[in-house]
Amino acid sequence: MQSIDQEGKTLEEALEKAINTLKCKKEDVEYEVLDEGSKGILGIGSRPVIVRVRLKQDVSVKEEEKELKVTQEIENQKSLSKLNDNKKEENLSTTDNDEFEKVKNIISKFCNDLSLDLKNIYFTTENVTIKVNLETDDASLLIGKHGKTLEALQYLINQIMHEEKAKFILDVSDYKIKQNEKLTNLIKSIAEKVSTTKRKVTLNPMNSSDRKLVHEIIKEYKDLTTKSIGKEPNRKVIIQHKEAFSVRKNNNYKRKPLEKNTRNFKRPNKFYKKRVTENPSEKQEQA
């Protein structure tokens, strides 16, 4: 049974956060208060409210069964794609309609095996790219956590259709379009911040398509530049100001080495200097 511990300033806030994390309705969960929290005295010694929220048994069992079916089907499709790669078949030229029907049959069989409700499939062609948008009530199961299930299904379809020159991009209920809009707004706000502060910002690890989108957005800012660092799957993008980047590349930015013998130089003691320069004959005359 899936459960999480969530904290908040009030019980209602903690429950709302937990329900959003579990992506379910309020009537589908039951909760237990682990700590009622405390406001403290003038904010000192305050503690948040901590609750343990779990899905009810009938709901959690159904979701776990569907998730298991999704993972099993993906593994089966991977094994089938590997077998197809090993077979040597002649390349057959097919029309766009034949490609659409083949992909539609693959997706329909995939959803039927998992008891997912697939309402409709839409195809749009852009040069060599074919975008496939799925309309379903079980969008969360097809998308998966951070879109990993959707990316895996897209990879399998491209492997099965590897003989065709087209590239297939899958989307569920315009999920990728919405995510791209959120990412675009986030990158633009970060770009404005870097332009004013001139301090670089390192983004979280992203896939190749998201990194490409970041590079394209930053091209609109003449004073900013981007670069990718790290290795997959932890490859990141750095957004930085061009002026700060050019200053670091300038040789004058480096610290100049100290001159010779300056490290061992010591300032002479004033009393020692007075004693050395003093003439002993002058002392006798004064006496």
What is the reported pLDDT for 215? 94
Looking at the chain, the number of H-run helices and the number of E-run strands are 10, 9
Question: Could you tell me which residue, 67 or 284, shows the higher pLDDT?
Answer: 67
CA 221 to CA 194: how far, in whole Å?
Answer: 11
Class of 177-249 per CATH?
alpha beta
* Residue 59: band (very low, low, confident or very high) from pLDDT cuts 50, 70, 90: very low
Residue boundaries of the structural domains of the chain? 3-55, 64-173, 177-249
Domain 3-55, CATH number (from 2.20.25, 3.30.30, 1.20.58, 3.30.2310): 3.30.30
Mean pLDDT (whole number) for 212-239: 91
In the predicted model, is pLDDT for residue 95 greater than 50?
Answer: no
What is the reported pLDDT for 90? 38
CA 104 to CA 97: how far, in whole Å?
Answer: 10
Percent of the chain with pLDDT over 90: 15
CA 135 to CA 131: how far, in whole Å?
Answer: 13
CA 282 to CA 116: how far, in whole Å?
Answer: 111
pTM for this model (two decimals): 0.49
> Beta strands 167-172 and 129-136: pairing type?
parallel
CA 155 to CA 134: how far, in whole Å?
Answer: 16
Cβ atoms of 29 and 8 within 8 Å: the answer is no
Question: What's the distance, CA 239 to chain centroid?
Answer: 15
* Residue 33: band (very low, low, confident or very high) from pLDDT cuts 50, 70, 90: confident
113-153 residue pLDDT tens? 878 888 888 888 888 888 898 988 888 888 888 788 888 88
* Superfamily of the domain at 64-173: K homology (KH) domain (3.30.300.20)
Cβ atoms of 177 and 98 within 8 Å: the answer is no
173-183 residue pLDDT tens? 888 888 899 99
